[in-house]
């Protein structure tokens, strides 16, 4: 019974995380792609117990990711990827405002108190930032809520 409860909680968490990612994503041309990605994310969480071919093996309680089974780790990774993708999109929007479109972006996510969030954003630019490093960092922090922003 705990396995089914964990699975249902995982689906609910995936739906909630997907909804948050959709709200954070830019509207317009990418809207359809984001909706498809969120839908696939939720479908993966729904069908995750059946992928291994053993329908009975729904493992672990959802509430404790550190001590949980494969289902919990898989859900954590999916949520972390979703958060990372949403933060990357917001960071690219800020960089585009400053005419920087060919930058590398690395997002480090962490899990604390039941929440997955972006702990650190690192932006790499070969052409520099035109003296706007402080403004860019501040704007990225404002858009993403991530305090640790490094521009290299």
Predicted local distance difference test score (pLDDT) of residue 71? 53
Angstrom CA distances, 45 to 7, 50, 56, 151, stand at 8, 10, 16, 35
Q: Tell me, what's the pLDDT at 43?
A: 81
Total number of domains in the chain: 1
The Cα–Cα gap between 111 and 92 comes to 23
User: What is the model's pLDDT at position 7?
Assistant: 75
- Residue ranges in the chain whose pLDDT is less than 70: 1-3, 49-72, 114
* pTM of the predicted model over 0.75: no
Count of beta carbons in the 10 Å neighbourhood of residue 134: 10
> What is the structure's pLDDT at 49?
66
**What is the H or E stretch that residue 142 is in?**
helix 133-144
Query: What's the pLDDT at 1?
Result: 59
Please state the separation of Cα 133 from the chain's center in Å: 25
Strand, coil or helix: 146: coil
Structural domain including 83 reads: 2-151
């Amino acid at each position: 019974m705990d396995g089914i409860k964990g699975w249902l909680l995982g689906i609910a968490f995936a739906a909630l995380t997907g909804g948050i990612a959709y709200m954070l994503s830019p509207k317009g041309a990418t809207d359809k792609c984001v909706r498809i990605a969120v839908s696939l994310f939720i479908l993966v969480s729904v069908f995750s117990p059946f992928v291994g071919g053993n329908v009975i093996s729904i493992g672990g309680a959802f509430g404790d990711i550190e001590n949980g089974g494969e289902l919990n780790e898989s859900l954590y990774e999916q949520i972390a990827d979703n958060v990372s993708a949403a933060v990357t999109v917001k960071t690219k929007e800020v960089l585009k405002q400053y005419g920087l479109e060919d930058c590398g972006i690395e997002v480090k996510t962490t899990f604390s108190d039941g929440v997955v969030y972006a702990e650190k954003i690192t932006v790499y630019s070969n052409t520099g930032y035109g003296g706007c490093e402080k403004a860019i960092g501040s704007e990225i922090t404002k858009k993403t809520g991530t305090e640790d922003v490094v521009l290299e």
